Structure 1
Amino acid sequence: MKHPINVTSEIGTLKTVLLKRPGKEVENLTPEYLQRLLFDDIPYLPIIQREHDYFAETLKNRGTEVLYLEKLVAETLSDENIRKQFVDEMLAESQLTANGATAVLKEYLLSFPTQEMVDKIMGGVLKKEIDTKKKTHLYELMEDHYPFYLDPMPNLYFTRDPAASIGSGLSINKMREPARQRESLFMQYIIKYHPRFASHDVPVWLDRDYQFSIEGGDELVLNDEVVAIGVSARTSAKAIEQIAINLFKKQDSFKKVVAVEIPKCRAFMHLDTVFTMVDYDKFTIHPEIQDSNGQMNVYILEKGKEENTVSISHRNNLQEALKEVLGLSELVLIPCGGGDEIAASREQWNDGSNTLAIAPGVVVTYDRNYISNELLRQHGIEVIEVLSSELSRGRGGPRCMSMPIVRENLK
């Protein structure tokens, strides 16, 4: 088998992708804990699963191999010692929600077959599931109002964020919000222990123990020399600088990291919610990330003269900065919702800019963003629409829901 990770662009033909089918974790959402778990609404599980299956089949029909996170994790934990180690680490990172009942929870989780155990960890453990006879401490017997020993992970179907493929390696991310921080542990185990990856010594450009946060929705591989990373509510400038240093040191092909500062708000969660690449010289953009003069802060990071340093230069025009780093004389920014004040805001909220390119000039989008989709078609882009009434409630689109593992290199 060739090296299991190869992503040198945003638009190279997508050969292998990692998805997570929504499961019990979505049904364990309740109105009073939506904010804690980073949701605005509660999707209807049978329909969100149907829509996700449609999305997966759309990719398969175009020749993409679809891997599922939940299955890879179960395969990773086939060894009993690794399984126990994983449960220990997962519970150690869940102390805020485990309420001190670690021993009881460990025994409960290990009582399941491996796939059921993984689904249970992802779906969450309710206090009422634990046999009262096994609760021997006062804090275990005193049931407070919070229903979970182990929080559900409803954001897992957004596989883009916990880890991101760059070149032949990946970042395994320190995630910003407590509700999501456990998610990257799954990928850490997969890369270290799953037979598909373990024998290949996959480089990790930045690991989940790094002090500052970074998330995959902010990481865009523009080509084999340039990576763009959003400075956002979820990704810190310090993490961007460190991953740039590591990339320049360990993967010679990368020459520039473009840090793009976007407004830090819920609607503009990651760079890919307001900006994605759809062809060699075409990008979607939400116009509101720029000021009234079309300007914004863009920083170009290159390898510094001293070891473990970068040189940084500032630009204030995204379009011109992209033309510069990509060596293009012309470049088109396609505005979400056609730039209309109402349509742009509405369609961006429903991920009109969050396209998944599966080949140059071919993208998967949500069907609900009909104005943005038509505009993409007018610019010569093939648009494949997928169902989205329930998937969109999580505030993430096709790019958010997919972690490319292998793309063909651009010619």
Structure 2
Amino acid sequence: MISMTNQPISQDTTLKHPIHVYSEIGELKTVLLKRPGRELENLTPEYLERLLFDDIPHLPVIQKEHDYFASALQNRGVEVLYLEKLMAETLSLPGVREKFVADILSESKSNINGSYETLKEYLLDFDNEMLIETVMAGIRKSEIKPEKRRHLHEMIEDTYPFFLDPMPNLYFTRDPAAAIGHGLSINRMKEPARRRESLFTQYIMRYHPRFAKHDVPIWSDRDYRFAMEGGDELVLSKEVVAIGISERTTAQGIERVALNLLKHGDSFKKVIAIEIPKSRAFMHLDTVFTMVDHDKFTIHPFIQGPEGKMNIFELTLNAEGELQIAQHSDLLKVLKDVLGLQEATLIPCGGGDPIAAAREQWNDGSNTLAIAPGVVVTYDRNYVSNELLRKEGVEVIEIMSSELSRGRGGPRCMSCPIIRQDI
């Protein structure tokens, strides 16, 4: 097991600003991860669909694989922060602990059914690290001692085993919040099973000393009623952001982010909205399209229609400060135009072979994490796609993935970059 070596809460940061992401491929300096934990052991076949899983990972193995992933990043000089440790540090500040418990229980009202005081007392008995671990893992009804149960419904053993649902998707730190420029979108997740996840980021940004004193801009907040998820948000350059119109991100959510970025971001001039098929297999834009170098991109070819056509929308501001939208259909042409490229290469997942592409896309063959221009982290199981990347001159760092891949997310999904070097 690797150590979770976040900066001590008392140590001041020398950064001018704690959020700085103006590209997909700039050298990665700081990243936010979440080590898989007890929440995965609260998965059962009966509730997999409710909790957005297809299978039950083996916890010791998935932790070993995730530690290898984190070590691979640290070996390249990346500072790894852990969501659970940042949250525990955040709770040490006066009054924050009680406020967080109140908020997390309030947001879990569909599961606690009148057991607010019982669960509040139960959680506040823990130290900060165990409190966060318990909230993330979920609270089984069997954990509350019979003498602590105040209500009739708490005393009746019904078929549903949880007072507080587990959050098994938390190791996909990209989706609840994503860095764009020097700000964040703190997202309203589409599925109720994931909606509480962005509360952690909101608390860290508001209260943790590393972030709170910088007044980090929020491009979209988690209280907005239209869904947005970080897997759909790609920072192509300091002037251009691409956002997927997907199963999990709405057109209305994109418009709000676009308006805030184009009006208040310090360099962004265009938002490119890319429509992809709305299915669980494709889920987010980064499961079918990622940037791996200045002029190279991975793509799952099945998102393109006849002759490679797609629905692509270019959002800019007019002189009155209102959004204006132009429609395009050629992804390669759009990429060359907005990035000022003479040529660009789309590297097909699985080599474009109908079987290999479908198999490797299901296991996130297109979900690469660039840690520098032309250097990416991928799953080892996607050997066809990995070999194609190497043939295109991309350095590929493979990580073990037998259990990590069961959650239907790859290295980009599992990482939330918060500082990248400019390119």
> Out of 363, 372, 379, which is 2:392 matched to?
379
Q: In the alignment, what sits opposite 2:6? A: none
Q: Which residue of the partner structure matches residue 372 of structure 2? A: 359
SS across alignment from 1:109? helix
Q: Report what 2:261 is aligned to.
A: 247
- Work out the CA distance in 2 between the residues paired with 1:384 and 1:403: 18
From 303, 314, 324, give the equivalent of 1:289: 303
How far 1:79 moved relative to its partner?
2.3
Q: Once the 2 structures are TM-superposed, how far is the Cα of residue 303 of structure 1 from its aligned partner? A: 1.0
Match in the other structure for 1:50: 64
State the TM-score, normalized to the length of structure 1: 0.99
Structure 1 unmatched runs, 5+: none
What stretches of structure 1 move > 4 A for 4+ residues in a row? none
Paired letter, 1:40: D
Separation in structure 1 between the aligned mates of residue 22 and residue 157 of structure 2, nearest angstrom: 51
Distance in 2 between the 1:50 and 1:13 partners? 25
Q: How many angstroms apart in 2 are the aligned matches of 1:190 and 1:3?
A: 15
Letter of the structure 2 residue corresponding to residue 200 of structure 1: H
- What is the alpha-carbon distance in structure 1 between the residues aligned to residue 167 and residue 122 of structure 2? 18
| Cα shift readout 1:280-317 (whole Å, capped 9, x = no counterpart) | 0000000000013211100000013333x210000011
- Structure 2 unaligned regions, length at least 5: 1-13
Task: Return the match for 1:106 from 117, 120, 123.
Answer: 120
Q: Secondary structure of the residue that 2:396 maps to in structure 1?
A: strand
Deviation at 1:266, TM superposition (A): 0.5
The residue type equivalent to 1:26 in the other structure is L
Root-mean-square deviation (CA, aligned residues, Å) is 0.7
TM-score by length of 2: 0.96
Q: Which SS does the other structure have where 1:197 is aligned?
A: helix
Residue by residue over 1:315-357, the C-alpha shift from the partner in whole angstroms, topping out at 9 and shown as x without a partner, is 0111111111111121100000000000000000000000000
Residue 413 of structure 2 corresponds to 400
Instruction: For residue 212 of structure 1, report the CA deviation from its aligned partner.
Output: 0.3
Deviation at 1:134, TM superposition (A): 1.7
CA distance in structure 2 between the aligned counterparts of 1:390 and 1:354, rounded to whole angstroms:
16
1:217 maps to 2:231: yes
Identity, % of aligned positions: 68
| Partner-residue secondary structure (3-state), 2:92 | coil
Matched, 1:169 2:194: no
Aligned pairs, number: 409
Cα distance in 1 for partners of 2:354, 2:395 equals 25
Cα distance between partner residues in 2 of 1:27 and 1:306: 53
Task: Name the counterpart of 2:331.
Answer: 318
> 2 CA distance for matches of 1:364 and 1:339?
20
**Aligned partners of 1:80 and 1:221: how far apart in 2?**
36
SS in 2 for 1:190: helix
Hey, what's the Cα distance between the residues in 1 that align with 2:148 and 2:133?
22
The letter of the residue matching 2:389 is: L
1:330 to 343, 354, 370: 343
What is the Cα deviation at residue 387 of structure 1?
A: 0.3
- Counterpart of 1:192 in structure 2: which amino acid? R
2:355 aligns to what? 342
For 2:78, the equivalent position in structure 1 comes to 64
Of the three residues 215, 224, 237, the one matched with 1:201 is 215
Does structure 1 conserve the Cα–Cα contact (< 8 Å) formed by 2:29 and 2:419? yes
Letter of the 2:58 counterpart: Y
Q: Give the whole-Å Cα distance in 2 for the aligned partners of 1:306 and 1:116.
A: 52
The code of the aligned residue for 2:41 comes to E
Aligned to 2:271: 257
**2:118–2:150 contact (8 Å) kept in structure 1:** no
Separation of aligned partners in 1, 2:262 and 2:353: 40
- State the alpha-carbon separation in 2 of the partners of residues 114 and 156 from structure 1: 18
- Counterpart CA distance in 2 for 1:407 and 1:124 is 33
Q: Which of 278, 281, 294 is equivalent to 1:280?
A: 294
